[in-house]
Amino acid sequence: MKAIILNRTLPEGIASADIILPAMASDEVKIQVKSAALNHRDEWCRQGKYANLQDGIVLGSDAAGIVVEVGNEVDAAWLGKEVIINPASDWGENANVQSKNLKIMGMPEHGTLAEYVQVKSDRIHPKPDHLNWDEAAALPLGGVTAYRALFRQGGLQKTDIILVTGFGGGVAQFGVQFALSLGAKVYVSSSSEEKIQKALALGCSGGFDYREENWAEKAVSETGGFDLILDSAMGDTLNNLIKATKPGGRIVFYGATRGNATGFESRRIFWNQIKLIGSTMGTDEDFGNMLNFVSENKISPVIDQFFTLDDTEKAFDRMKEGKQMGKIVIRISQ
């Protein structure tokens, strides 16, 4: 079958290859992939910035498709079903934190940028009826990450005023959509006026250009401060986030693309009793709850652009540019 693999011997870092999947285990299913989607981790793998990299591994964590074969231990009723894949496995027994054995499809195990994928049957869920293949493929990793960060870690309430930073990426996009669906008052930050306007069109109450030196003061003046901030940048932006948080508020980080914070205002944190909370991916329960929330609220992921499997390098390049508004989707067998 055709697949996109990591190949760091090439300048582009990835390659199209014909690979043979291993024999299917008795507790696995084989899925014909209809659409897959990119995440930043795929581009980081291409750039050699991810842990446990192995050339020859099929990249990609997100996908939706049709079950075409089941193992001996799997209910045959799954055959022909339209499904969405939970890309994480082995979270562990503690819902508060993932185990050291947590794995995500696409590295170090084969991922979803392929015509077929094999996963354990407990990793699949029925595709939400209101989503098409592209929308369903866009949902898994970003959706569960946003859901856990907002609800389990952030304790989001519909009375909250929330800021989602770096609007445009997948998790931030879902964070906005989920918070709006709950009824919270949502603001965003971005360096792109076009992305801010898109957020306003979705129903956000306002947006701030984080390149402006006094954006945090402007935000507090306009909103009174935020009950909850969802962020993936950290770095030296942390002080502005702290300034923009209400006393007793929460800041939830699901990444640190700008590195570690330096010289942040610790006094403001303890005096205002601000909570700094880390978050990543989610448990199987988080994933199921996320799918239920998406189905009940008829949430459809925002799609940036579509590419074919043959044009996957162009899709990765768009991810690298950081100009996307929504998810980048690879159409594989539609």
In whole angstroms, what is the distance from residue 252 CA to residue 165 CA? 11
In whole angstroms, what is the distance from residue 74 CA to residue 121 CA? 7
Can you give the pLDDT at residue 223? 97
Quick one: tokens of 193?
A: 């006026």
Can you give the pLDDT at residue 260? 83
Query: 179: Cβ–Cβ under 8 A, 6 or more apart, which residues?
Result: 150, 156, 160, 162, 164, 186
Can you give the pLDDT at residue 262? 79
- pLDDT tens figures, 5-23: 999 999 999 999 999 999 9
In whole angstroms, what is the distance from residue 326 CA to residue 302 CA? 5
Establish if 292 belongs to a structural domain.
Answer: no
Can you give the pLDDT at residue 256? 81
Helices first, then strands: H and E counts in the chain: 10, 17
Can you give the pLDDT at residue 293? 98
In whole angstroms, what is the distance from residue 273 CA to residue 287 CA? 30
Same domain, 100 and 153: no
Same domain, 135 and 153: no
Same domain, 6 and 135: yes
Can you give the pLDDT at residue 334? 75
> 75 lies in which domain range?
2-139+301-331
In whole angstroms, what is the distance from residue 32 CA to residue 30 CA? 7
Residue ranges in the chain whose pLDDT is less than 50: none
Establish if 289 belongs to a structural domain.
Answer: no
Establish if 6 belongs to a structural domain.
Answer: yes
In whole angstroms, what is the distance from residue 272 CA to residue 288 CA? 35
Same domain, 171 and 255: yes
The count of residues in the chain is 334
Tell me whether residue 35 is exposed, middle or buried, using C-beta atoms within 10 angstroms of its C-beta: 0 to 12, 13 to 18, 19 or more.
buried
Establish if 293 belongs to a structural domain.
Answer: no
- pLDDT tens figures, 96-117: 999 999 999 999 899 999 999 9
pTM for the model stands at 0.96
Q: How many domains does the chain have?
A: 2
Establish if 29 belongs to a structural domain.
Answer: yes
Residue 101 maps to which CATH number?
3.90.180.10
Query: 100: Cβ–Cβ under 8 A, 6 or more apart, which residues?
Result: none
